[in-house]
């Protein structure tokens, strides 16, 4: 079945450091890919998405590129801030049918000043 694997955390970075959170997927066909973010005490919210190969999703300084050849969707940010501390989830959905999203296990990021 479809699955998402993301790097295990926690990840601790100093402010202004570069961030990469790896995400790879297994799916039939051509899924859409998402990154969600969960701030403390809140539900998940969509951070960015990409719907086809080579698409780049971006938001709030975060970027991720849909790489079909490596089945990857790594999350990157050039300079993290303390306010980026959260749990990040990679997810996929099939582009057909009614199957709900499949999530990775999440990566906790802590940014220290």
Q: Can you give the binding site for another protein, defined by CB under 8 A? A: 32, 34, 36, 41-46, 49, 89, 93-101, 103-106
Q: How far is the CB of 35 from another protein (least distance, A)?
A: 11
C-beta closer to another protein: residue 13 or 87: 87
Q: What is the number of residues in the chain?
A: 113
Query: Using CA atoms in the order 42, 103, 89, 52, what is the torsion angle rounded to 10 degrees?
Result: -120
Rounded Cα gap, residues 40 and 33, in angstroms: 23
Bridge partners (DSSP) listed for residue 23: 6
Q: What six digits make up the tokens of 60?
A: 């709030």
C-beta closer to another protein: residue 29 or 113: 29
C-beta closer to another protein: residue 79 or 95: 95
Rounded Cα gap, residues 71 and 76, in angstroms: 16
Q: How far is the CB of 90 from another protein (least distance, A)?
A: 10
Q: How far is the CB of 64 from another protein (least distance, A)?
A: 14
């Amino acid at each position: 079945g479809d699955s998402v694997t993301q790097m295990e955390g926690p990840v601790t970075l100093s402010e202004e450091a570069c961030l990469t959170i790896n995400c790879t997927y297994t799916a039939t066909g051509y899924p859409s890919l998402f990154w969600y973010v969960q701030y403390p005490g809140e539900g998940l919210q969509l951070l960015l998405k990409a719907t086809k190969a080579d698409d780049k999703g971006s938001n709030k300084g975060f970027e991720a590129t849909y790489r079909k050849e490596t089945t990857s969707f790594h999350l990157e940010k050039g300079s993290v801030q303390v306010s980026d501390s959260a749990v990040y989830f990679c997810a996929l959905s099939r582009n057909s049918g009614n199957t709900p999203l499949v999530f990775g296990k999440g990566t906790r990021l802590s940014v220290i000043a």
